[in-house]
Amino acid sequence: MVAAMIRELGDSLQEALSAFGRYTLFGARLVAETPRALLRFGLVVEQVHNAGALSLVIIMLSGLFVGMVLGLQGFDLLQRFGSEESLGTAAALGLLKELGPVITALLFAGRAGTALASELGLMRATDQLAAIEMMAVDPVRRVVMPRFLGGVISMPLLAAIFSMIGLFGAQLVGVQLMGVDQGQFWSQMRAAVELNDVMEGVLKSVVFGVACSLVAVYEGYHSLPTAEGVGRATTRTVVISSVSVLLLDYMLTAVML
């Protein structure tokens, strides 16, 4: 009984390790294919449209509301210390360094990641990938790469849009509703926020973009060719991307702070 439990534990540990290894190998292959895939730019553009342009509305809407609630909460918190003028700084740093990249990545995993995974999974289930391979075309090169790159390119742009809209949301609530001085709001922010803070957010969103896209294409490409398999791949995409984004976020913050 005990021996069986230990064996099971060892098996699942081995499985987790080899899953990590498969991810790494697949990621390395995608990186190696990147220069060649960038040459076929039309395919990438199409995927930037799918992953980025189609996620624009949900990102902007979420950004606006996150910014507005940040304005409200930040105002309430700062008012207790009598420093409402710092609202701009608080909102800008919060959005640029944390909320922008992280929430964008979570929304991206839900909106674009699932679409990628189920699309690739269905291609697998309906033997389209096998058909492409039959025509002596590498499906990773033709199908997976553009989708991966589309996600990687879209994420930093989406995060930047999110932060900008969020800042205007915070300004809307803080200045228009709560009566923080507009000049103070912007000038305090400008004095406190440095280029490094912006770059930290951009770097985070690039890393999250790679992680989310990798998870989505990996799970989709390796899904079981059944209806259930596609469903499971989609679920796993959301779960693994969200968890790894939050994990990576902590690690990146700890390194860069």
CA distance 200 to 102: 12
CA distance 246 to 242: 6
| Tokens 């790469």 found at | 145
Print the binding letters for residues 195-234 with another protein: x by CB under 8 A, - otherwise. x-xx--xx--------------------------------
Per DSSP, the three-state class of 3 is helix
Longest pairwise C-alpha distance within the chain: 70
| Tokens 């039959």 found at | 134
Type of residue numbered 217: V
Minimal distance, residue 166 CB to another protein, in Å: 11
Stretch touching another protein by CB under 8 A, among 47-55, 65-73, 102-110, 229-237: 47-55
Q: Which is nearer to another protein, 60 or 224 (CB)?
A: 60
Q: How far is CA 109 from the centre of its chain?
A: 6
Q: What angle do CA 222, 224, 226 make, to 5 degrees?
A: 145
CA distance 171 to 162: 14
Minimal distance, residue 214 CB to another protein, in Å: 21
Using CB under 8 A as the binding rule, the residues of this chain from 145 to 174 that contact another protein are 154, 156-158, 160-161, 163-164, 167
Stretch touching another protein by CB under 8 A, among 41-49, 170-178, 219-227, 248-256: 41-49
Minimal distance, residue 242 CB to another protein, in Å: 23
- Spatial CA neighbour of 140 closest among 227, 32, 42: 32
Identify the residue among 92, 116, 117, 170 touching another protein (CB under 8 A). 92
Minimal distance, residue 45 CB to another protein, in Å: 5
Give the binding site for another protein (CB under 8 A).
45-46, 48-49, 52-54, 56, 83, 92, 96, 154, 156-158, 160-161, 163-164, 167, 189-191, 193-195, 197-198, 201-202
